[in-house]
Amino acid sequence: MQVDLISNIEFDQIRRFFQQESGICLADTKRSLVSGRLAGRLRALKLDNFNAYLSYIAKQGNELERQMAVDLLTTNETYFYREPKHFAFLEKVLTEKQGEKAPLIWSAACSSGEEPYTIAMLMAEVFGSRPWQVLGSDISMRMLESGRTGLYPLSRAKELPTHLLKKYCLKGHGDFDGYLLVDDKIKQHVQFAQRNLMEPQQLDTKADIIFLRNVLIYFDNKTKTQIINNISRCLKPNGLLFIGHSESLHGISEQFTALKPALYRFKGARS
């Protein structure tokens, strides 16, 4: 069936919906992205226009479709060992803690799981079979399911050091040629869960290190502050926070001390 072009009013309504659900404000330039990603859902539901789709996802009982809309509109661009300097520093930190209890690391907004799996490979190098865990969270259930599967195009691992690729990933054959599968010995240490960073966060045990990289760029300053306040409740005093190299906490939070570009130490919760 033919889907009507998205109108200005419909685009603005979808932007408001997405911001309410995720905190992310879609730019005017995302109009084609919104139309392209949601058009398939309109056809599947036999809806003629985006206004009808908005009415549909607003109805009680259609929460799964609402989540699907959020999943489709969420930007997911990631790969293994992204921003190598961060992982080189993490490896140094982990090595220094080799004789101690393994730190708990939370990869917030982990998308399809490449980041927490990269972290887990470095943890395995240092802590081996000792007890340790990496948490991975995202707002998108679709991305989390992809992460739990652990199957990726080999192109996503182009930055991953060869020794880690060979040691912790299985090369696909036949129908899976050109893919890799993260080994179960890594997957068993990574726990995925859905979390909306706009909401107050709580972990059973506070994290020693949090990765929140290439997330804040999608939010306004007020929302950035809210997110940082939410995740800082889950970080131990003196814990480390990694953000993206194009991001900064300047003017966002005074609870952190800058150590390096995109790397901060948590002073502790304000009294």
List the catalytic residues. 37, 138
The distance in angstroms from the start CA to the end CA of the chain is 59
**Cβ neighbours around 227 below 10 Å, total:** 24
Residue 229 structure tokens: 């306040």
Residue 166 structure tokens: 């060979």
Distance from C-alpha of 184 to C-alpha of 127, rounded to nearest angstrom: 16
- DSSP per residue over 101-168, as a string? PPPPEEETT-TTTHHHHHHHHHHHHHHTTSS--EEEEES-HHHHHHHHHTEEEGGGGTTS-HHHHHHH
- Residue 153 dihedral angles phi and psi, to the nearest 5°: -60, 140
Residue 24 structure tokens: 């992310």
Interior/surface letters 47-72, b for 16+ CB within 10 angstroms, e for the rest: beebbebbebbeeeeeeebebbbbbb
Q: Which residues are CB-contacts of 242 (< 8 A; sequence separation ≥ 6)?
A: 86, 90, 209, 210, 211, 212, 213, 262, 263
